[in-house]
Amino acid sequence: MAELLRFELEDGGSVVAQVDHAGPGVVAAASAGDVVRRAAGSFDAALDGVRNAAAATLRQMSTLAQQPDEVTLEFGIQLDAEVGAVLARTGVQGHIQVQLTWRRAGSPTV
């Protein structure tokens, strides 16, 4: 059953996310009757791995012999109380969609 999980932001405030199962990395936000639980780590820390994955993907795309004019990355992210943010799966695989765009020299940009 899905639960609501509160991730604290490093600069104050918080983000609430719906998770499939909060798991052992969760601490009670107040009383046992609360609907929203609090994650042990911050939202910023949870996204560190996603940022690193994006940087690594962009580094790999920059080694192409023919550099694209545009690179678009799409990540499906699932939040977990224990491990933070993980790449969400589609089927049985992790989800990273990479779109590369090359424009012909002299063509107008839209």
Under a CB-based contact definition with an 8 Å cutoff, are residues 80 and 19 in contact? Answer: yes
Q: Whole-model pTM? A: 0.61
Distance CA 70, CA 103 (A): 9
- Mean pLDDT within 42-50: 81
Residue in 40, 45, 10, 47 with CA at minimum distance from that of residue 23: 40
- Pick the residue with more confidence: 12 or 21? 12
**Per-residue pLDDT at 103 exceeds 70:** yes
Q: What is the mean pLDDT of the chain?
A: 74
Pull the structure tokens for residue 108. Answer: 């107008």
The Cα–Cα gap between 110 and 105 comes to 14
